[in-house]
Amino acid sequence: MAFDLGNLLQQYLGGAANNNGARAFDDFDQVAQNAPRGTVAQGVSEALRSDQTPPFPQMIGQLFGHSDANQRAGMLNQLISNVGPGLLSSIAGGTLGNLFRGGETPAAITPEQAAQLTPEQVQQIAEDAERNNPSIVDRMGDFYAEHPTLVKTIGGAALAIVLGRVAEGMRH
C-alpha cells in the first residue's frame, strides 16, 4: 500500500491537530521524507514565527543546542550574514571578533569556532539578526528543512504548526 501524504496531512488542516503534539513527531518524519522541501521550509518558518511557540531567538538557541558541529556552523553562517560585526565581536568574549576584517563581511564560521559558543550566545545573535532583517526567519526555516531530525527538537506543538502549514501548501 502506497503512503498517502495527503490523507496524513488532512488532519493538520486548520490547526485541528495542534492538541496532538505526540503524534506530530511520527507524522513529521513521514512528511519530511515525502513533501517538497520548499513546503516543509515554509512550515518550519511559520513555526519559528508563531505566537504559539517560544520566540524565534529562543527556538534558534534551542536548535543550536541540539545541533551537531556542522549544523551549528551552517546555522551560524546564516545568522551572521544578518548581524553587524560590532555585536559578534562583543559576544563570547570576542571569540568571533577575529572573523572580521575591518568591518567587512565575515569569513565562514567553522565547526570548531561554532563549538565555542553557547546556545544563549546564539540566542543573542538570533535576536539581533531578526531585528536587523526579519526575513532571517525564512532563511532559518529553509536551513532547518534540510535537517528534519533536528526540527523535531522544537517540540510537538511546533511540529503540529509545521504540519498544518505543509498541509495548506500541499492543498494549493
Is a pLDDT exceeding 50 seen at residue 102?
no
Q: What secondary structure letter does DSSP report for 54?
A: -
Q: What is the pLDDT of residue 89?
A: 65
Is a pLDDT exceeding 60 seen at residue 8?
yes
Total-model pTM: 0.82
Give burial (CB, 10 Å; 0-12/13-18/19+) of 1.
exposed
Determine the 3-state secondary structure of 30 from DSSP.
Answer: helix
68 vs 13, higher pLDDT: 68
**Confidence band (pLDDT; 50, 70, 90) for 7?**
confident
Grid cell of 129 as nine digits? 539578526
